[in-house]
Amino acid sequence: MRPFEGIRVIDVTHVLAGPFAAYQLAVLGADVIKVEHPDEPDQSRGAGTDKALNRRNMGTAFLTQASNKRSIALDLKTEADCEVLKKLVVTADIFVENYRPGAFEALGLGYAALSALNPRLIYASFSAFGQNGPRGPQTAYDHVIQATSGIMAMTGTEEVHPIKFGAPAIDYATGMTGAFALAAALFQRERTGRGQRIDMAMLDVAMILMSSHLTGYLRNGVEPKPNGNRHLHATNSAYPTRDGLLMLGASNLRQQRRLWTALERPDMIKRSNDEREQDRTGEAALLTEILRSRTAQEWEEFFQARHVPAARVRTMAEAVADPQLSSRGIIHRHEGSAGIDGGFGVPLAAFTFAHGGPRIDFGPPTLGQHNEAIRAELGLAAVRLEAEPA
Which of 365, 377, 386 is CA-nearest to residue 34?
365
C-alpha 42/C-alpha 27 separation (Å) is: 20
Query: At residue 85, what is the residue type?
Result: L
Q: Determine if the peptide bond prior to 162 is cis (ω within 30°).
A: yes
Contacts of residue 77, defined as CB under 8 A and 6 or more positions apart, other chains included, come to 107
Q: Which amino acid is at 49?
A: T
Long-range contact pairs involving 368-374 (C-beta distance under 8 Å, separation at least 24)? 368/36, 368/38, 368/71, 368/72, 368/73, 369/70, 369/71, 369/338, 370/33, 370/70, 370/71, 370/72, 371/71, 371/72, 371/73, 373/70, 374/33, 374/70, 374/72, 374/88
Q: How many residues does the chain have?
A: 390
Q: Mark whether 204 is an active-site residue.
A: no
**Which residue in the list 142, 171, 322, 361 is annotated as catalytic?**
171
Closest Cα partner for 16 from 205, 207, 168? 168
Query: Residue 385's closest CA among 369, 374, 373?
Result: 369
> For 380, left (φ over 0), alpha (ψ -120 to 50), or beta?
beta
Contacts of 198 by beta carbon, 8 Å cutoff, 6+ apart:
122, 123, 124, 125, 178, 181, 182, 185
CA–CA dist 276, 113 (Å, integer): 60
Active site residues: 171
